Amino acid sequence: MAQPNLDEIHDVLINISKQAGKMITTAHPRTSSSGTKKNLTEANHTPQGRTAADLVTETDKAVEDMVSSTLREKYPDYDFMGEETYTPGTKLASTPTFIVDPIDGTTNFVHSYPYVSISLGFTVAREPVIGVVYNPFTGTLYSAIKNKGTYKTERAFESQPLPAQKLPLKDEKLEKLNRALVAIEWGSDRSGKNYECKTKTFANLGRAEEEGGAMVHSARSLGSAALNICGVAEGSLDMYWEGGCWAWDVAAGWCILKEAGGFIVDGNPGSWEVEVTQRTYLTLRKGVEKQVVEEFWSHIDGRMEYEH
């Protein structure tokens, strides 16, 4: 198999993201008409246990159908992993693979909250080497190619978008956790040890330092993993702590963040090297010092465990 032409694939993914954006912005989802996702539970691979917070719409499915059919036609030798067609137990292969979340932020989408994106990643040897994340409601496009940097384009849906900005936009040193703006997410699973770990850790991050907390500047729960990671890449967020995401939530943002000088460690304390399928992540912008990571880890109460 010939080496993938990353520049060409990058441009194809950008065009696809804009097509998907038109589908998303012209749809009219309602909370009453959305269903729960068909991804199966870790414990027994049955639909039992899906929650009312884990939503899917017909638009999610239609966008993934469009993306997959377009990519399979143009790149028939490459693998495809999409959120809406994922089969439990499938492992990310070392072969070139497109990893797609058709609508990252479905809950926002059905509530008409415009923090929504399509996330298109491409991996080689299980490493994200291209990332495209597009918010069609704001026209904000993030894109990256390995070793070629990360760029943010505003008004990307217009015939004459604003000039692309190289990221990060902010990279000043961060030496203390109490100076940080942190993204966190509840997730769709609201019971059990993982949820308990999250909520106790949220409390630790916010609690006053004299009571043993980190007292971070503040926390944001915005509802899109891909856009959260892009916010870290540009420097508007200092870090993003997550457990329970899948590869399609983070693959595109992974490349975008790394090419912007940021880094990713385990969402559980101790490991500085993680894979895109890890499912527990702490993403950090360029300029965050190592001791801040260790300080963050010290405030995690418990351990998040997810099936890979």
Active-site residue set:
83, 101, 103-104, 106, 249
Instruction: Go through 190-225 and write b for each residue having 16 or more CB atoms within 10 A of its CB, e for each that does not.
Output: eeeebbebbeebbebbbeeeeeebbbbeeeeebbbb
**Residues 190 and 49 sit within 8 Å (Cβ to Cβ):** no
User: What is d(CA 124, CA 3) in angstroms, rounded to the nearest whole number?
Assistant: 10
User: What is d(CA 232, CA 215) in angstroms, rounded to the nearest whole number?
Assistant: 19
Quick one: which of 206, 188, 162 has its CA closest to 306?
A: 188
Taking residue 37's Cβ as centre, other Cβ atoms within 10 Å add up to 18
**Residues 242 and 300 sit within 8 Å (Cβ to Cβ):** no
User: What is d(CA 286, CA 174) in angstroms, rounded to the nearest whole number?
Assistant: 9
